Amino acid sequence: MSTEHTLSQGVLERDQSASAFQLLRPYWRVTLAAFLGWFLDAFDQVALLLCLPDIGKDLSVSLTAMGIIITAQSVGRVVGNTGWGWLSDRYGRKLTFMIGVIWFAVFSGATAMTWTYLAMLAVQFMFGIGFGGEWTASAALLMESVPPRARSLASSLMMAGYECGFFAAAAAQAVILPIWGWRALFLIGVVPALLAIFIRRGVPESPVWLKIQSMPKPAHVQKRKFGFRLDGAALQALIFMAFVQFQNAAIYSFYPTFLRSDRHMSPADVFPFIAAYCIGSLLGKPLCGVLASRFGDRKVFLLYFTLTALGIWPFISAANIPVMLAGAFGVGMFGNSIFALIPHYLSQRFPSETRSLGMGTSYAVAAVGQGVAGFLVPMLGALYGLPTAIIGSVLVGTVLVAGVVSYQPPVLPGARMEGEEENVVG
């Protein structure tokens, strides 16, 4: 037995005995960077959702018109996810991550300087491009950097950044909005540009991407200038993301507006319910990761979708404050925390050579789902009332996404990352 084989066997045995937290510890910089990127994305996006009534009033437009602004941002994410996914595969995860952070920081600040409806549409479209590019690159970078047994945990920690950003935006709007107005919230969004410095100095490039660059390209990859293999696993990823994002956007996009318009709450009154939702999701995401590592992604998805469908009525329709808080906590814990598994789930459905593009395209299709919800929910709300529109959209979206995730695609050849002997999507 060679010395090299003995050392490799020793490393493997050590990794098998170590916990996921121990395995992830040396990779804290890339994990923190991915978490902060998603945290800052969430802060800026949620600031828009929390301020929809105030922005609409200043711009003299209806809630439906403000919903179109959400759709414009979603279209921008389509461009950012797909275009920057290709850039990430070609020029590196790290560089694309940095550019995405700077991009969305610039256009968050530009939002504060916008005075007309058409300008707001354009700025939010451009913001969406940065939003999409940042997630695509950081998710691929994280999944390709950490050890296989730590990837579910790393995925959960990264995606928990959204709830922390949501919570921070809700707290900031409760304090800032009544005194300085909505524009001050978006000026804070310029701060994320500092994250690019941390990425540049402290985060290494993906070892998987570096290894691919040093190897001759397979013939099927050389012929494919832009694109990826659209097999069963890839098609499942695209459809799944469209439906899950539609369902999730129907849950949270208009929840702050619902509390202010239908329940006549002030911005400060809204905060406890947003906090309950975020706390539930923060607790639910690690639990989601632990359950998935034991029972598999599919079973956890189906369980969480079922619990979301059961919890959506008290989340929206309950009139008792404690029940409303419990509903917000429950929907956050089960309805939103399934996103903890998304980076890991998507990374298994595309080969390494086109992984970032595949993940980015999947999230681009998700942005379409969010855009449809951003338009459909307020339109149905005008006809049947906002509570009915939210509940109905969530239930329909839940049934659709549960059907898609039940599909069992075949083993995906070539979708291996560093340290994996096989990659069975499931």
* Phi-psi group of 312: left, alpha or beta (phi > 0 → left; psi -120 to 50 → alpha; rest → beta): alpha
User: From the CA atom positions of the chain, what is the Rg in Å?
Assistant: 21
DSSP alpha helices (H): ranges in 92-231? 93-112, 117-145, 151-180, 182-188, 195-202, 207-213, 219-222
Do residues 246 and 369 touch, judged by C-beta distance below 8 A? yes
Per-residue pLDDT tens for 186-233? Answer: 887 777 677 777 888 878 888 888 888 877 665 544 444 446 677 788
Per-residue pLDDT tens for 117-155? Answer: 999 999 989 988 877 777 788 888 888 888 877 787 788
Would you state the pLDDT for residue 400?
92
Would you state the pLDDT for residue 425?
44
**What are the Cα distances from residue 323, in Å, to 261, 272, 353?**
19, 13, 49
CA distance 193 to 36: 11
The stretches in the chain having pLDDT less than 50 are 1-15, 17, 220-226, 411-416, 419-426
Would you state the pLDDT for residue 349?
84
Tokens matching residue 71? 């759709």
Tokens matching residue 254? 């208009």
CA distance 234 to 263: 42
Do residues 105 and 192 touch, judged by C-beta distance below 8 A? yes
Tokens matching residue 391? 């509940």
Would you state the pLDDT for residue 119?
92
Would you state the pLDDT for residue 137?
84
